[in-house]
Amino acid sequence: MKIVSILGARPQFIKAGTVSREIAKYKDIEEVIIHTGQHYDANMSDVFFDEIQIPKPHYNLDINGLGHGAMTGQMLEKVEGVLLKEKPDWVMVYGDTNSTLAGALAASKLHIKVAHVEAGLRSFNMKMPEEVNRILTDRMSTILFCPTQSARDNLANEGYGNLDIAVIHNGDVMQDGAIFYKDLAVKPKVKLEDEYILSTVHRAENTDDLECLSAIVSALNEIAKEIQIVVPLHPRTKAILGKNNMTTDFTIIEPIGYLEMVYLIKNSKLIMTDSGGLQKEAFFFEKPCITLRDETEWVELVEHGFNVLVGADKEKILAAYHNQLFNDSFDMDLYGMGKASEMIVEALLEF
């Protein structure tokens, strides 16, 4: 069996790495990895692949810095060329990026079976390009691997039971990764207090809307009077803060590697983020989470009290921080307990 995995961003490589480790256990499975280049990341050097213990991509298409249409179109063209050359049995895509959509579309047009990892997730916000990507990818897939029961329920509600598409609730490969990387964490070169909050702010609806960004920064500044807040900040967001003369009283650091991020998560008191992945990693490392968004794909975290949604509302952010009415019973099986990758490979072999 030959599998082509199509990836475009650092988080996708980390997720796919857990599946690659499982694939490597089978001598009769060959995996070919395509990196579309969607998210240029200076941290993704050869050292990155060695430290994270995941295979380097066989193809790098170097497509980035373009609008959605141009980027997806170029990916579709170049991925198709690789698929015609490699002739795989399966194309595996992850999540909801333009790379995900382009990979699924190229494979579907060539009648190659598509496996979508992290299928069925819905924010129910069609203004998010990720929502469009994931919905279209689900419809073109042969097997949908759902990380949660709510993701599987979404697909049932959309009528997938009437389609010739296999739907499997396998759990979340990110939890597999969290278990694997927990003891490999690397302390970043930053002065940390005994207690600190880890925060990230990167979504366009927060960084490109000055009212939203100002509210978040103001709330973080106020909380930082009581406890250190460490914020790995993308240069683009840092430039927006500088351009608009926004004062920051929290600890801003440069973007860091994944193993350093694992350290910060593992040793923090609380997570405050607008990242989808970090919401789950907070749960994996038994940390409460305040989410700086109005909706989340990980509704089970909110339903069970591990996470609270506050949007970019200063008063809600402060109330969530001061109240901290979180569930602290983290021994709940919401994401497969580290068996998600194993189930993916077994399903592909049995299909």
**Per-residue pLDDT tens digits for 238-291:** 999 999 999 999 999 999 989 999 999 999 999 999 998 999 999 999 999 999
Instruction: Tell me what the mean pLDDT of segment 3-25 comes to.
Output: 95
Fold of domain 2-172+336-350: Rossmann fold (3.40.50)
Residue 51 confidence (pLDDT): 84
Are the beta carbons of 12 and 95 closer than 8 angstroms? yes
Q: Which of 51, 58, 134, 310 is nearest to 206 (CA)?
A: 310
The residue from 202, 234, 304, 322 that is catalytic is 202
Cα(338)–Cα(351) distance, integer angstroms: 22
Residue 42 confidence (pLDDT): 63
Cα(193)–Cα(220) distance, integer angstroms: 16
Q: Is 39 a catalytic residue?
A: no
> Where along the chain do the CATH 3.40.50.2000 domains lie?
2-172+336-350, 184-323
Would you place residue 303 in the very low, low, confident or very high pLDDT band (cuts 50, 70, 90)?
A: very high
Are the beta carbons of 285 and 278 closer than 8 angstroms? no
pTM of the predicted protein model: 0.89
Q: Spelled out in words, what is the top-level CATH class assigned to the domain 184-323? A: alpha beta
Helix axes 276-284, 173-181, angle to 10 degrees: 60
Residue 11 confidence (pLDDT): 87
Residue 312 confidence (pLDDT): 97
- Segment 53-78, tens digit of pLDDT: 999 999 999 999 899 999 999 999 99
The answer to whether residue 10 scores a pLDDT higher than 90 is no
Average pLDDT score, the chain: 95
